[in-house]
């Protein structure tokens, strides 16, 4: 039995960046028993404007930067650039999501090898691309909304830039991202990151501890009919 997990996140979400370690652990622990489908949600669809609006009474961009720095102190495996949202304030996360959907489409077609690049974290080329996009923004302090930065990041994985650009220019990446948005609305996804299990019956949102994620997956594996109608 293989459990499908739909994982919704925004590239500019620090909780998804820091929480990648949990997704890596999930894949190591359950290997062929789970299949993760990556979807994107535009929490930072209007990035700089969104932060300014939400943090208007709490210091604006500078206040949000301070918040991120504080959050990062709780995670030893990540580091945060001092320039985030002050000197480097992406206008949107959507352009990065489009780029990643193009990579995902190429992987689904078999034009990009889906084998794990690293035995320890088990990430495929697409999963590593998601991580590098986040790391480029959070750790390196570069504007991942810009095509030149996206290309620079993709080159680290020797990805075919011309094919990626073609899928974006033709609208195919836009169509794929629209499918993510339709799924977001169907499941009523509240934000980033969100894990959807059991065909939408189970939803885990936010900075959820690994033991909770693990318990939900194990319950589905041991009780595949969980959530179906019963006599109880």
Give the pLDDT score at 119: 58
Q: Is residue 232 part of a domain?
A: no
What's 114's DSSP letter?
-
Please check whether residue 227 lies inside any domain of the structure. no
Q: Does residue 174 form part of some domain?
A: yes
Residue 229 domain flag: no
Query: Which DSSP string corresponds to 200-218?
Result: GTEEEESS--HHHHHHHHH
What parts of the chain have a pLDDT lower than 70? Answer: 117-121, 224-232
At 166, which CATH number?
A: 3.40.30.10
Report pLDDT for 22: 94
pLDDT of 121 reads 65
Does any domain span residue 90? Answer: yes
- What average pLDDT is seen over the chain? 92
Q: State which residues form the domain around 152.
A: 3-222
Q: Name the pTM for this structure.
A: 0.93
Question: Contact, 202 vs 224, CB < 8 A?
Answer: no
pLDDT at residue 231, rounded to an integer: 34
pLDDT at 123: 85
Output the pLDDT for position 230: 34
Element (H, E) at 195: strand 194-197
| Region for 187 from its dihedrals, namely left if φ exceeds 0, alpha if ψ lies in -120 to 50, beta otherwise | alpha
How many folded domains does the chain comprise? 1
Domain assignment present for residue 196? The answer is yes
- Three-state secondary structure call for residue 83: coil
| Amino acid 120: pLDDT | 54
Q: 184: buried, middle or exposed (CB in 10 Å: 19+, 13-18, 0-12)?
A: buried
pLDDT at 154: 97
Beta pairing partners, 35: 4
Give kind and range of the element (H or E) at residue 9: strand 3-9
Taking the C-alpha atoms of residue 50 and residue 189, their distance in angstroms, rounded to an integer, is: 18
Query: Which residues, 6+ apart, have CB-to-CB distance to 197 below 8 Å?
Result: 3, 4, 5, 6, 203, 204, 216, 217, 220
Kindly state whether residue 96 falls inside one of the protein's structural domains.
Answer: yes
User: Do the domain assignments include residue 94?
Assistant: yes
């Amino acid at each position: 039995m293989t459990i499908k997990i739909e994982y919704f996140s925004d590239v500019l979400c620090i909780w998804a960046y820091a929480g990648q370690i949990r997704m890596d652990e999930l894949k190591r622990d359950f290997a062929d028993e789970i299949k993760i489908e990556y979807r994107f949600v535009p929490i930072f669809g209007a990035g700089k404007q969104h932060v300014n609006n939400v943090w208007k009474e709490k210091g604006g961009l500078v206040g949000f930067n301070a918040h991120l720095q504080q959050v990062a102190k709780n995670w030893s495996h990540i580091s945060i650039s001092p320039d985030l949202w002050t000197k480097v304030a992406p206008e949107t996360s959507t352009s990065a999501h489009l780029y990643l959907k193009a990579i995902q489409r190429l992987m689904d077609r078999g034009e990009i090898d889906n084998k794990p690049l690293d035995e320890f974290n088990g990430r495929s080329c697409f999963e590593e691309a998601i991580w590098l996009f986040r790391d480029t923004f959070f750790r390196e302090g570069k504007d991942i909304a810009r095509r030149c930065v996206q290309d620079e990041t993709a080159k680290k994985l020797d990805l075919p830039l011309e094919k990626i650009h073609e899928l974006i220019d033709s609208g195919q990446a836009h169509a794929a991202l629209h499918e993510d948005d339709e799924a977001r609305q169907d499941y009523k996804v509240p934000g980033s990151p969100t894990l959807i299990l059991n065909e939408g019956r189970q939803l885990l949102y936010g900075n959820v501890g690994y033991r909770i994620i693990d318990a939900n997956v194990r319950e589905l594996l041991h009780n595949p009919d969980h959530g179906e109608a019963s006599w109880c």
